[in-house]
Amino acid sequence: MATKILCIDDDQDVINVCKKVLTLEGYDFDHASDGEAGYRKAKDMKPDLIILDVMMGNDTEGFHAAYKFRQDDELKYTPILMMTSVNQKLDFNFNKKRDREFLPVDEFLEKPVNLDMLVVTVKKLLALKKEQVNIDGSK
Amino acid sequence: MNNLTEKIKALIVDDEKGMCLGTQRILGDFSFPIEELDTSVNFDVEYVCSGADFYKVIENKKYDLVVMDYKLPDANGLELLEYLNGKGADTGVLMITAYATFETAVKATKLGAYDFIAKPFSPDELKYSVMNLVKSILLSRNVRKFQEEKKRIRFEFVSVLSHELKSPLNALEGYIDMISRYHGKMDDSELKTYLERAKTRTVSMRKLVMDLLDLTRFESGARNRECVDIAFNELVSESLNNIREEINSRGIAVEAVFDAEYNIVADRTEIEMIVNNLISNSVKYNKQGGRVMIKTENKDGDLLCAVSDTGIGMTEQEQTRLFKDFSRIKNKDTENILGSGLGLSTINKIVSLYDGEITVNSKYGVGSTFTVRLKNIIKEVPNGN
Ligand SMILES: Nc1ncnc2c1ncn2[C@@H]1O[C@H](COP(=O)(O)OP(=O)(O)OP(=O)(O)O)[C@@H](O)[C@H]1O
Ligand SMILES: [Mg+2]
């Protein structure tokens, strides 16, 4: 069974690109365009990795979605790759070291996402063992 | 008339206790309005009798006003003033002096004493000086607050704007990157689809830039407004004709109901913006084969224009953020519809120029009605009764 990736982003074009690239890389790809739909889809398909846009409809939708996954017994240990493009809008820069302390996600990539980095990061996160996943913002 | 009162925290510094008590009583009973700020001022007065005590009390409290004797046994007014400035306090200082020399006056003024009053003075003289001083402090505070608010709004606008401009760039870069790396693994029709999407994003980015120019022109007042007679019904028909092609291609039936000829006095460009945007939305966010209905009414000299559609509609939650700059509703129904999210916010700004309002009534999946009310702009209603 192929490895499954769920991408949650409200930009159809970002989805198109991720879909094509990750499908060509051999993954099963599915997507949703907001946190709520993403959660439902995740419950359904049980992805091996979730790619999550930090800022969808409202500024914090991505954060909320991340917490929601971590509180769900079935999805708790699914690695999350967060895509950000907020450095300007929220007046702060994502700092991996610092933000991992409170955000339960496993890696950040800044948009526009370099596709080589995307592929490499996806591979890396898929190789995480259950106990390595950053489930409570502590890793 | 005075909605607010402002309590001014005042401190008197004088080594003669009698002076302190007298001044405290005068200011304690004193109150006056500041019309520009729609507020009235009264005082909360404390006093100290030495420089040493002055240093003590200002450590713990911020005063709006200090009335100080220039000559104290243990200090002089200039020192205290300098110290107050060093703390960056936003305090007005009224200096009392028996023998103000020109030099001390200049020095003290440089240090930020706003006014002098010579001993002995009458209660009215004191009140007059205090009133002017307090007025100038409160007015300049108000200006500062206003400027900060303006800066904040501007920052927020630019932040959202930069996000709106970055999104299409991200999308474009994604397509370019993908095509340059993986084109060998894609067939022509796929490539074509991606290139078309990329093109669409550039078109919408250009539209955003143009809409932005429109919006800022309105907001900056750079455009000369010109009120002229406008045949409103005709303007609506023209607006419909402008997008006739889209109306036809989507099989939309339009019905315009005018119960009279409406002649209004207004700025043509502004009214066109309103009507064009509402009609364009009612077509854009409609369903294939849907209906649009435009209804105009005279409500006591106000023009009421309602544009209804049988389109995709909005949930209540979605309706709350419609009128903000760049606000677009993103879901399956809207993902292929181009827009900058500036139409309604621009309308909202124009409508307020006419002391009017825009309201929305919408039901998700059923349709929407946007109603604009423009105050007092109907010129005449031929054969109206
Ligand atoms: N008649 C309507 N029916 C359903 N949704 C609407 C309607 N009019 C506006 N909306 C929603 O409100 C949002 C804001 O509308 P607005 O006119 O401000 O921006 P836009 O149409 O997206 O872009 P622009 O008008 O700047 O090109 C739209 O994106 C759409 O989601
Ligand atoms: Mg619009």
Computed over every residue of chain B, the mean pLDDT equals 90
Q: CB neighbours of B226 closer than 8 A, spacing ≥ 6? A: B267, B268
Q: Is residue A29 included in any domain, yes or no? A: yes
- The model's pTM is 0.72
% of chain B at pLDDT higher than 90? 64
Q: Which residues of A touch B201 (CB under 8 A)?
A: 13
Architecture of domain B227-380: 2-Layer Sandwich (3.30)
Q: Is the pLDDT of residue A94 over 80?
A: no
Give residue B155's pLDDT band: very low, low, confident or very high (50, 70, 90): confident
Is residue B378 a contact partner of residue B264, using CB atoms and an 8 Å limit?
A: yes
Give residue B361's pLDDT band: very low, low, confident or very high (50, 70, 90): very high
Computed over every residue of chain A, the mean pLDDT equals 86
Give the residue from B319, B309, B299, B316 showing the smallest Cα distance to B381.
Answer: B299
Q: Which domain holds residue A22?
A: 4-132
The tens digit of pLDDT for each residue in B76-112 reads 888 888 888 888 778 899 988 776 566 777 776 766 6
* Stretch B5-16: mean pLDDT: 95
Q: Is residue A38 included in any domain, yes or no? A: yes
% of chain B at pLDDT higher than 70? 94
CB neighbourhood size of B130 (10 A): 25
pLDDT-wise least confident of A94-108, B108-122, B139-153, B207-221: A94-108
Number of structural domains, chain A? 1
Give the model's pLDDT for residue B333: 84
* Stretch B11-23: mean pLDDT: 94
The CB-side HSE value for B156 (13 A sphere, CA atoms) comes to: 10
Q: Which residues of A touch B182 (CB under 8 A)?
A: 20-21, 24
Q: Is residue A25 included in any domain, yes or no? A: yes
Q: Is the pLDDT of residue A4 over 70?
A: yes
Q: Do B186 and A89 touch (CB under 8 A)?
A: no
Give the model's pLDDT for residue B384: 47
Closest ligand 1 atom to the C-alpha of B341?
A: 19
Q: Could you say which ligand is closest to the alpha carbon of residue B335?
A: 1
Q: Is the pLDDT of residue A58 over 80?
A: no
Q: Do B170 and A11 touch (CB under 8 A)?
A: yes
Give the model's pLDDT for residue A91: 44
Distance in Å, CA B210 to ligand 2 centroid: 13
Q: Do B167 and A57 touch (CB under 8 A)?
A: no
Q: Is the pLDDT of residue A48 over 80?
A: yes
Give the model's pLDDT for residue B34: 93
CA distance B264 to B376: 9
* Residue length of chain A: 139
Closest-CA distance of chain B to residue A57, Å: 7
pLDDT-wise least confident of B78-87, B142-151, B171-180, B196-205: B78-87
Assigned CATH class of B4-147: alpha beta
B311 ligand 1 Cβ < 6 A:
yes
- When CB atoms are compared, the residue of B159, B177, B190 closest to A115 is B177
Share of chain A residues as helix, strand and coil, in percent rounded to the nearest 5:
40, 15, 45
Q: Which residues of B touch A21 (CB under 8 A)?
A: 178, 182
B341 ligand 1 Cβ < 6 A:
yes
Q: Is residue A55 included in any domain, yes or no? A: yes
Q: Is residue A138 included in any domain, yes or no? A: no
Give the model's pLDDT for residue A89: 44
* Stretch A85-112: mean pLDDT: 66
Distance in Å, CA A4 to ligand 2 centroid: 38
Give the model's pLDDT for residue A79: 96
DSSP single-letter state for residue A131: G
Query: Angle at the Cα of B344 (from B253 to B295), degrees rounded to 5?
Result: 40
Q: Which residues of A touch B (CB under 8 A)?
A: 10-14, 16-17, 20-21, 24, 33-34, 55-57, 85-86, 88-89, 91, 111-116
Distance in Å, CA B284 to ligand 2 centroid: 8
Closest ligand 1 atom to the C-alpha of B345?
A: 18
Q: CB neighbours of A50 closer than 8 A, spacing ≥ 6? A: A5, A6, A7, A8, A38, A42, A69, A75, A78, A79, A80, A81
**Domain ranges, ordered by start, for chain B:** 4-147, 227-380
Q: Which residues of B touch A86 (CB under 8 A)?
A: 163
CA distance B293 to B99: 81
Considering only residues B156 and A44, tell me which one the structure prediction assigns the higher pLDDT.
A44
The answer to whether the bond into A112 is cis (omega within 30° of 0) is: yes
Q: Is the pLDDT of residue A138 over 80?
A: no
* Stretch B233-248: mean pLDDT: 95
B314 ligand 1 Cβ < 6 A:
yes
Please name the residue of chain A whose CA is at the shortest distance from the CA of residue B331: A33
Give the model's pLDDT for residue B81: 86
Q: Is residue A137 included in any domain, yes or no? A: no
A contact test, residue of B205, B325, B329, B335 with most A CBs within 10 A? B335
Q: What is the CATH number of the domain that holds A107?
A: 3.40.50.2300
Domains B4-147 and B227-380 in one fold: no
* Stretch B309-313: mean pLDDT: 97
Give the model's pLDDT for residue A38: 94
Give residue B385's pLDDT band: very low, low, confident or very high (50, 70, 90): very low
Q: Is residue A139 included in any domain, yes or no? A: no
Q: Do B178 and A57 touch (CB under 8 A)?
A: no
* Stretch A77-84: mean pLDDT: 93
Q: Which two tokens stand for residue B38?
A: 């729609």
Residue A52: strand pairing partners: A8, A82
Give residue A61's pLDDT band: very low, low, confident or very high (50, 70, 90): confident
Closest ligand 1 atom to the C-alpha of B208?
A: 26
% of chain A at pLDDT higher than 90? 53
Residue to mutate (ligand 1; options B167, B277, B281, B371; most atoms within 8 A of CB): B281
Give the model's pLDDT for residue A57: 63
Residue to mutate (ligand 1; options B284, B331, B344; most atoms within 8 A of CB): B344
Give the model's pLDDT for residue A102: 67
